[in-house]
Structure 1
Amino acid sequence: MSAADLRALLVADHVTHVPGVYDPASAALAVRAGHRAVHLSGAAIAATMLGRPDLGFGAATQIADRAATLVRALGGMPLLADADIGYDSPDHAVWTALAYQRAGISGLCLDDEEDAGRSAARIVAMAGQVPGVTLVVQARGRDLGATVERCRAYAAAGAHAVLPVIADEADDLGRVRAALPGVPLVVSRSETATGGPRLTDAELAALGVRLVLHPLAAVLAALRAASLVYRAILEEGNAERVDRLPLGAFATLTEQAEASVTAAINRIDT
C-alpha cells in the first residue's frame, strides 16, 4: 500500500497497465494475474454499490470504505482511487486525502474543475500536508492548448503525474510531452473510446506515458458474465453452458487474501 511503489512505476521507463477492481475478490484476481497496481474508479463504485451512473452519487467516504475492504486482498500492491468529489476547498481536499490514506489508498486520481486555480490550490494543500499520497491529476481544457496549460500548472503545484483527458493520439501526447519534459503522463482507456488502432506500449512509453488505466474492463466483464448466467438459469434451469471460475479457484481467493495480509504483517514486523 506504499505510495513509493506507485511513484516508482511513474518514473520507470516503461508502461504499466492498471486494471480496475471493485471488491476483494476482483482485487485478489488482479494480484493472481500478476499486476503491479490497481485502480478503484468512481464509476465502478457507483455501479456496484449504488446501482447508479457515475454522476457524483458516490461520496469520497464510500470510496474509502470500499478501499478498506479490498486492500487486504492486495497484499501491499498500490491502489489508485478516483477522487471526483469531496475536496471542494483545500481543507476538504486534505481531509479527503487523509481519509484515503487511512483506508490504504496509495494514490488519488483527482478530477479537474472549471477553475484551474482552485484545482491547483487543492493540489498544493494535499502535496504539502499529505505527502504520503501520490497525486495523479486529470486536466480537462477546452482544447489541447488549454489542457497543456492546466497540466503544467498542476505539475508545478505538486502533482506527481498528469492525465490529459483529451490527449490520446500520438500527436497530442507528443505535444504534452514536449511541454512538460520529465512529468509522467497517465492515460485512461475508456470502454466508450472509439477511433483508430491503439498506440502500443512502446509507443506510449516513448511519449512519456507511464500508467494506462482500465477502470471498467473487469466490472463490465463480470456483469456480462452474470447476465449470461441469469439468462441461462431462467431458460435452462442451470448455468452449465456459461464459462465460469472453477469452484476450487473461487475457494482459494479468500485464502490468497489471508496470506497477503499475513505477508504484509510480517514485512512490518521485520
Structure 2
Amino acid sequence: MRRTSRFRALVEAPEILEMPGVQDALTARIAAEAGFEAVTCGGYASTAALIGEPDTSQLSMRELADHYARICDAVDVPVFADADTGFGNVTNTRRAVRAYEQAGVAGLFIEDQVFPKRCGHMAGKAVVPVEDMVAKLQAALDARRDPDLVIMARTDALAVDGIEAAIDRACLYRELGADMVFVEAPRTVEQMRRICAAVQAPLLANNIEGGLTPMLTAAALQEIGYAVVTHPVALTYAVARAARELFATLRRDGITTAFADRMLDFDGFNQLVGLPDLRAREQAYLDQAARVIASRPHPDQETGE
C-alpha cells in the first residue's frame, strides 16, 4: 500500500491517530522504531533544527521540500508535512504541493495566516481574506497527482476573529474538499467540543507543551471528537534541554562520563542507524559480483589455449 493510502486510512479510522513530531531523518527513525504508525514534522521543529531560529516563515519551500525528502527516505511510515501559507499565491501553492508530493510526503497542510506567519500559539497573528485561502486550497487540491495525498486546511482565525469565524472557515474549507481540518489554538475544552460538534470532518488536535490549548491524552481527544493528535514540538524541547545539560557537563568536567547514562554508546548508535544491515547489504553485493565473475568462461577457455 502506498504511504499516502496508508495515511488516509489511519486518518479515517475510528481510532485516533497519534503522531509525534520529528525534526530530521534520525529522529524520524527513532519514532518509527518506537512503533508510531505515522510522524509529522512541522515548520517549528524544522526551523529550529535547520537554522536555530523561531518559526516565522524563514525557511523557503525548497529548503523544506528537501528536508522532507530526506525524512521520507529514512523511514517507511507516512510523513505529514507543513506547507505554511503555501509560500505565496495560488501558483506558489501549486508548486509547493508538487514539490512535497515528489519528496514523498503522505500528507500536508496549508494555513490561512498572513505571510510571514507565526507559530499558531504566538501573539500577533493575522489571517488572509477567506477568498485568498479558498483559492490556495483549491489550487492545492487540484495540484496533487495522487488522489490519496491528504491535504489539511488550517485556520488561525480563532485568535483573530473569534470561534464563530474560525468554525465558519473550517466548515468552508471542508466543503471545498479539504481531507482534514485544523482549527488552531482553542483555549478551552469547551471550545474544542464546539469545534468538533460543528465541523464535520476529520479534525486535528495539537498538544503544545506550554501552549494555549489544554494538553489532553489521545483517549480524551478521541472522546471529544478528534481524529488525529500531534505532539509537534515535544522532541525539539527535549533535544534542546538534553543538549544544554550535555554541554554544561562537558564544560564543567572536561569529559562526558557524568552524562553517559543518558547517551547511546558507539555500538548502540550504529545499531540504531542500521550499520549492521548496511554492511550485510554491501557484502551481499560483493558476493553476488564474485559469483557473476566466477560463472564467466576464463579467456583461455574461450580461445581453446
Which SS does the other structure have where 2:274 is aligned?
helix
Q: Judge conservation of contact 1:25–1:253 (CA < 8 Å) in 2.
A: no
Q: 1:207 to 1:257 in 2, by over 3 A?
A: farther
Residue 251 in structure 1 maps to residue 266 in structure 2: no
Q: Following the alignment from structure 2 to structure 1, what is the Cα–Cα distance between the partners of residues 44 and 216?
A: 25
Residues 73 and 256 in structure 1, CA contact (< 8 A), matched pair in contact too: no
Matches within 5 A, 1:8-47: 8-47=9-48
Q: Which amino acid is 1:191 matched to? A: E
Greater Cα radius of gyration, structure 1 or 2: 2
Code of the residue aligned with 2:154 in structure 1: it is Q
Write out aligned runs for 1:84-233 (5 A): 84-113=84-113, 114-132=128-146, 133-141=149-157, 142-167=161-186, 169-181=188-200, 183-193=201-211, 198-233=215-250
Bigger shift: 55-64 or 166-175? 166-175
Whole-angstrom CA distance in 2 between matches of 1:258 and 1:73: 14
Q: Which one has more relative contact order, counting CA pairs under 8 Å at least 6 apart?
A: 1
The offset of 1:121, in angstroms, is: 1.4
Under a length normalisation based on structure 1, what TM-score does the superposition of the two structures give? 0.88
- The TM-score with structure 2 as length reference comes to 0.78
Q: Distance in 2 between matches of 1:117 and 1:93?
A: 15
Deviations 1:77-115 (A, max 9, x none): 111111114442222211100000111111112122321
Task: Name which of structure 1's ranges 116-125 and 244-253 shifts more when overlaid on structure 2.
Answer: 244-253
Two-structure CA RMSD over aligned residues (Å)? 2.1
Give the whole-Å Cα distance in 1 for the aligned partners of 2:86 and 2:143: 16
Report the AA paired with residue 138 of structure 1: R
- The whole-number CA distance in structure 2 between the counterparts of 1:41 and 1:58 is 11
1:151 and 1:256 map into 2 onto residues whose CA distance is 46
Bigger drift between 238-247 and 10-19 goes to 238-247
Report the Cα distance in structure 2 between the residues aligned to 1:230 and 1:39, rounded to whole angstroms.
28
Shift of 1:208: 2.2
In 2, are the aligned partners of 1:28 and 1:257 still within 8 Å (CA)? Answer: no
Q: For 1:118, what is the secondary structure of its paired residue?
A: helix
C-alpha deviation, 1:225, in angstroms: 1.1
**Cα gap change, 1:59 to 1:257, in 2 (>3 Å):** farther
- Decide whether the 8 Å contact of 1:151 with 1:164 is kept in 2: yes
Whether the aligned pair in 1 keeps the contact of 2:22 and 2:41 (CA below 8 Å) is yes
Give me the whole-angstrom Cα distance separating, in 2, the residues matched to 1:194 and 1:156.
28
CA distance in 1 between partners of 2:132 and 2:213 (Å): 33
Q: Which segment drifts farther, 209-218 or 107-116?
A: 107-116
Deviation at 1:168, TM superposition (A): 5.4
Q: Is the 8 A contact 2:187 2:212 kept in 1?
A: no
Count of residue correspondences: 257
Structure 1: distance between partners of 2:153 and 2:268? 37
Work out the CA distance in 2 between the residues paired with 1:258 and 1:220: 31
Assess if the C-alpha contact under 8 Å between 1:24 and 1:70 holds in 2: yes
Shift of 1:31: 0.8
Shift of residue 26 of structure 1?
A: 0.6
Q: Contact (CA 8 Å) 1:64, 1:103: kept in 2 or not?
A: yes
CA positional deviation for 1:195 = 6.9
Structure 1 residue runs without a partner (length 5+): 263-270
Q: Cα gap change, 1:173/1:131 in structure 2, threshold over 3 Å: closer, same or farther? A: farther
CA distance in 2, matches of 1:22, 1:257: 25
List runs of 5+ in structure 2 lacking aligned partners: 114-127, 282-305
2:230 partner SS = strand
